[in-house]
Amino acid sequence: MPTPHRTTARRQLLTLLAALLPLLAALLVAAPEADARTEAADARTEAADARTEAAGARTEAADAVPAATLTEVTDFGANPSNLRMYVYVPENLAPKPAIVVAVHWCTGSGPDMYNGTEYDTLADRYGFLVLYPSVTRSSKCFDVSSPQALRRDGGSDPVGIRSMVDWATRTYGADTDRVFATGISSGAMMTNVLLGDYPDVFAAGAAFAGVPFGCFATTDGSEWNSACAQGTVSRTAQQWGDTARAAYPGYTGRRPRMQLWHGSEDDVLRYPNLGEMIKQWTNVQGVGQNPAATDTPQSGWTRTRYGGTGDRAPVEAISLQGVGHNLYGSGMAARVLTFFGLDGGGPAPQPQPGACRVSVTTNAWNTGLTASVTLTNTTSASVNGWRLGFTLPTGQTITNGWGATYAPASGSVTATDASYNAVLAPGASVALGYQANHTGNSAAPGAFTLNGAACSAG
């Protein structure tokens, strides 16, 4: 029979164990959680250190370029044609600045463009960066004619300019949605090329006395295309648009807006080139060639706007009566900034054609189908000319259609308005459709874009 003191000791030991067991269990459960929290904290610390290091690198690079003075930058990235890069950083640089690429004329240079235009003083006022590419080849003209220059990442000058933009974006945390290009003569031609090669990089361009993208194309190594310069190259709007789109096959995103300046007495890049550029960029934008607005900003100027009536219409053209090739003058850069939306004033951005709703129904049989499409303009502005983009399912080929013209017959298709339904008022709808063959998949397209902007379904 146990003695009383042993019984008491056992009871005390059991009581102690009962108290300790929950504590031990809690520790066993909590330990992994604590380890996980420690690991997560370490990961956050490492990420913060990486961000601090990246910010320090940006600060160091930015400090290497003094403010309020034109500075050459080297080793800025891929540069197959050995361009030189100059940058102007204003003292009041915005926290997330826009970028303006200012491209010089033949025989000129980046410093010449800096000295001959007002973009630096305007940058002081509005806080954006200005990049001045500079040609080193003997002609001092930009390459706007070679096959390499006329395709995305093909080589030559556009690649170097893209690298300059990337450098500025990395170094200053620039706003990638506000990158712009402007140029004079050879620089105007390069502006057209940049917007064709890199529609995902540039939001808009302003070309002073240029030619359409691809007009100067040559295959003999020559930098000059006399037929284009003389204004004898004429194509349809669709052909010009296809030429620009071919630089970046398969791209379906938004397209940059374009402002065009030309003198009626230009004897270097003759005046008909203005009309050809209007054809090209209205087609690229998917808007009609009939002006939505026409006015006279000052004596001798005729300004036409396409696809919109505001300061930031999809396409704007300014014709200068009696003016020759050397048309750039004081005050024009400020008008460029208004078109770009960088002047801090003026009306809100022009409503862009594109916001829409699409509903589609199909009726299929063994090897064929019909699709009925209803397109509705859901913006508060009229759409003057439309291009509806979609991708046909694999194995489908359009054999005929109504309410639009369709090209190509398979793959990524664009339905372009007919003359009688080109204008879509706010809230208005248009019916169109097509007949197609199929090899088993009779589904409707899954997504649509109107003039490059995504549509909602329903």
CB of 212 closer than 8 Å to CB of 280: yes
The DSSP secondary structure of 339-392, one letter per residue, reads HHT-SS-SSSPPPPTT-EEEEEEEEE-SSEEEEEEEEEE-SSS-EES-EEEEEP
Q: Say how far apart CA 288 and CA 387 lie, in whole Å.
A: 10
Q: Which of the following is catalytic: 81, 146, 163, 185?
A: 185
Record the tokens describing residue 83, joined without a space: 């361009």
Record the tokens describing residue 41, joined without a space: 């904290």
- What proportions of the chain, in percent to the nearest 5, are helix, strand and coil? 30, 25, 45
CB of 42 closer than 8 Å to CB of 86: no
Record the tokens describing residue 85, joined without a space: 């890069």
Q: What are the Cα distances from residue 305, in Å, to 17, 293, 295, 324?
A: 88, 5, 9, 22
257-263 and 179-184 strand pairing: unpaired
383-384 and 423-424 strand pairing: antiparallel
CB of 370 closer than 8 Å to CB of 442: no
* 185: annotated active-site residue: yes
**Which residues have a catalytic role annotated?**
185
